[in-house]
């Protein structure tokens, strides 16, 4: 089992994902700009630690968990986007994602990479 850890540039926000299955490259407008490789998981598998202020940007126009949109979270000090959270409460299996691009290269290389069409079809393309 692989554990993914990562941090923003200044180290004020760190995360641990206990068991990511894959990294996801999404082509929606937000994810393209963030340059993220998302590692999705249930809330109880991911730990976020923030030692400083955060910036929360809600994209309600994006389909997301329960179609309530996503809240992209970034470090207010260095500006790096570390994760996203659901904008609205979810049902039986709440989840979020951390930015796996902030993890160590060897861990990134050990995880399968999938491409997701978040711009059009909301399906995996591979």
What digits encode the pLDDT tens for the residues 69-122? 789 999 999 999 999 998 887 777 788 999 999 999 999 999 999 999 988 998
The residue ranges of every structural domain in the chain are 4-124
- 24-48, pLDDT tens digit by residue? 999 998 999 999 999 999 999 999 9
> What is residue 83's DSSP assignment?
E
CA angle, 123 as apex, 125 and 3 as ends, to 5°?
Answer: 80
Q: Among 32, 33, 45, 57, which residue's Cα sits nearest to residue 115?
A: 32
* CATH code matching the domain that covers 4-124, chosen among 2.170.150.70, 3.30.365.10, 3.30.70.260, 1.20.120.330: 2.170.150.70
- 51-60, pLDDT tens digit by residue? 999 999 987 6
The per-residue DSSP string of 21-73 comes to --EEEE-SHHHHHHT--EEEEEGGGEEEEESS-EEEEEETTS--GGGS-EEEE
Q: Among 1, 21, 26, 13, which residue's Cα sits nearest to residue 102?
A: 13
pTM of the model: 0.91
């Amino acid at each position: 089992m692989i554990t993914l850890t990562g941090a923003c540039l200044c180290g004020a926000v760190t995360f641990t994902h206990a068991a990511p299955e894959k990294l996801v490259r999404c082509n929606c407008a937000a994810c393209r700009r963030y340059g993220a490789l998302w590692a999705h998981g249930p809330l109880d598998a991911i730990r976020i630690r923030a030692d400083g202020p955060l910036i929360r940007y809600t994209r309600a126009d994006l389909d997301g968990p329960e179609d309530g949109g996503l809240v992209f979270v970034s470090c207010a000090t260095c500006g790096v986007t570390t994760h996203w959270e659901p904008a609205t409460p979810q049902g039986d299996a709440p989840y979020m994602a951390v930015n796996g691009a902030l993890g160590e290269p060897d861990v990134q290389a050990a995880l399968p990479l999938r491409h997701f069409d978040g711009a059009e079809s909301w399906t995996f393309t591979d």
